[in-house]
């Protein structure tokens, strides 16, 4: 067997053995270097890991992670829920609609599905349970809705995609993700409302919400609603870059928590800085060690060989796109978004270029696929968060998860068939697509 085959087999074997993704990438990359190049080339490990993370746009990732943590601690989710409840009122499926809307708005602040799922689940699950919603349904709906955070800007995954794929404008990606993200939320809402009506869940006002008024709750939720406007407006006006937008988001979240909601203290800020550093450290470790795998695969020609093999499967671009989407969906069930981008994009970039797929549109399709994987067992990171909050087992949610997978799959199919759903807004805004 050739060295690049040994490298791929080593990576697969390490994953099956339970070795963390970051170290599986590094060790298999080292195997490729030793067998295919020279043991002396192991001296490049330090340089490759540094070069992988020494990129200015990556600064946005830890900052948006910190933004999500700050807004979660500042009580923003609770205020958004109250406003949505007052706006929608008592009706069958009303709380399901509230959960989807709040997840989408929170996604426009954090850019992280798990953080979004945790914040909304802690607020929504008690109310939905009192209203008669089964916990498995509620936990799955929130997990699925929180996955739209990977599409609705600012998205940590789209930031990484813009770095991995050369020549892609992050502002165009952010704009392109907006309508597909809304479409995905609506796709989840349709079966949720139908199921709620079918079983008669929640036809009377939820206890404690009778006195909520739209005007009063809107005033409380206004600082939270303004956050996405500030971020996207600043990007559109050219006032700041995406990386600078992350700094602005952190500062704005701190002001909201410390002085407006007053649920955040300086001690909380210090704790959140440490928590964000831990999460960011894990993300950056994966990116850094993936640099070894990427360099080894490039030098050995592994990615080129795999891309050529994929292209040789069929000349039909539509059929190959379907196969790629299915492969990414399976990967999304097992790996996180960052790992998928780092592992698969070196292989998929030549395929994308061969069939002349629009890189912005293709990036949104990948993000939608990965979003589905975030609430699809066996490794469903969003679902793990919400089931932990609900105190139920993951197996209890599988039936509901499949329902929402089909729903979001329909949204994915629409974006694949009609690329203008993703590309219309960035084109109108004048971004390079």
Calpha distance 236→333 (Å, rounded): 34
Per residue in 290-322, pLDDT tens? Answer: 888 888 888 888 888 888 888 888 888 889 999
Binned at pLDDT 50, 70 and 90, residue 183 comes out as: very high
Q: Considering only residues 91 and 233, tell me which one the structure prediction assigns the higher pLDDT.
A: 233
Binned at pLDDT 50, 70 and 90, residue 364 comes out as: very high
Return the domain boundaries, the chain.
Answer: 56-282+301-428
What is the per-residue pLDDT for 422?
A: 95
CB-CB contact of 432 with 360 (8 Å): no
- Is the confidence at residue 207, as pLDDT, over 80? no
Calpha distance 139→162 (Å, rounded): 31
Two tokens, residue 40: 């002396």
Calpha distance 247→62 (Å, rounded): 10
Long-range contacts of 313-317 (CB under 8 A, 24+ apart): 317/355, 317/357
What is the per-residue pLDDT for 279?
A: 82
Per residue in 99-137, pLDDT tens? Answer: 898 888 887 776 677 777 877 888 888 888 887 889 999
pTM for the whole structure: 0.86
Q: Which of 218-232, 265-279, 307-321 has the lowest mean pLDDT?
A: 218-232
**Selection from 123, 126, 104, 112 nearest residue 69 by Cα:** 112
Two tokens, residue 170: 């992050």
- Is the confidence at residue 204, as pLDDT, over 60? no
Taken in order 71, 77, 78, 79, the sign of the CA dihedral is positive
Two tokens, residue 63: 């900052």
- Is the confidence at residue 358, as pLDDT, over 90? yes
Calpha distance 156→112 (Å, rounded): 7
Per residue in 381-410, pLDDT tens? Answer: 788 888 888 888 888 888 899 999 999 999
- Is the confidence at residue 249, as pLDDT, over 70? yes
């Amino acid at each position: 067997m050739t060295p690049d085959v040994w490298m791929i087999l080593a990576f697969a074997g390490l994953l099956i053995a339970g070795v963390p993704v970051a170290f599986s990438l590094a060790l298999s990359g080292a195997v490729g270097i030793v067998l295919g190049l020279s043991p002396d080339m192991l001296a490049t490990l330090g340089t490759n890991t540094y070069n992988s993370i020494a990129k200015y746009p990556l600064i946005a990732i830890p900052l948006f992670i910190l933004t999500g943590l700050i807004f979660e601690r500042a009580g923003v989710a609770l205020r958004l829920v109250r406003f949505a409840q007052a706006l929608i009122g008592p009706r069958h499926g009303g709380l399901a609609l509230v959960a989807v809307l709040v997840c989408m708005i929170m996604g426009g602040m954090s850019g992280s599905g798990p953080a979004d799922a945790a914040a909304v689940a802690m607020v929504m699950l008690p109310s939905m349970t009192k209203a008669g919603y089964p916990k498995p349904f509620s936990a799955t709906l929130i997990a699925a809705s929180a996955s739209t955070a990977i599409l609705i800007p600012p998205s940590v995954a789209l930031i990484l995609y813009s770095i991995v794929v050369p020549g892609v404008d992050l502002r165009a990606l952010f704009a392109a993700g907006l309508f597909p993200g809304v479409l995905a939320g609506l796709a989840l809402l349709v079966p949720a409302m139908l199921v709620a009506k079918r079983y008669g869940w929640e036809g009377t006002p939820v206890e404690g919400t009778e006195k909520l008024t739209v005007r009063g709750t809107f005033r409380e939720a206004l600082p939270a609603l303004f956050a996405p406007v500030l971020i996207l407006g600043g990007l559109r006006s050219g006032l700041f870059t995406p990386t600078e937008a992350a700094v602005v988001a952190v500062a704005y979240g701190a002001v909201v928590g410390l002085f407006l909601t007053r649920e955040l203290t300086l001690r909380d800020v210090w704790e959140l800085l440490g928590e964000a550093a831990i999460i960011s450290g894990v993300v950056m470790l994966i990116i850094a060690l993936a640099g070894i795998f990427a360099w080894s695969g490039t030098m050995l020609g592994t990615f080129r060989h795999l891309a050529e093999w994929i292209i040789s499967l069929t000349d039909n671009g539509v059929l190959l796109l379907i196969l790629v989407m299915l492969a990414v969906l399976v990967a999304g069930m097992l790996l996180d978004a960052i790992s998928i981008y780092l592992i698969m994009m070196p292989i998929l970039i030549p395929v994308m270029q061969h069939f002349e797929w629009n890189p912005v549109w293709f990036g949104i399709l990948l993000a939608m696929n990965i979003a589905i994987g975030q609430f699809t067992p066996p490794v469903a990171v969003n679902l793990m968060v919400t089931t932990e909050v609900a105190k139920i087992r993951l197996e209890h949610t599988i039936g509901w998860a499949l329902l929402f997978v089909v729903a979001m799959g329909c949204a994915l199919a629409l974006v694949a068939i009609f690329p203008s759903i993703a590309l219309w807004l960035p084109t109108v805004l004048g971004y390079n697509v």
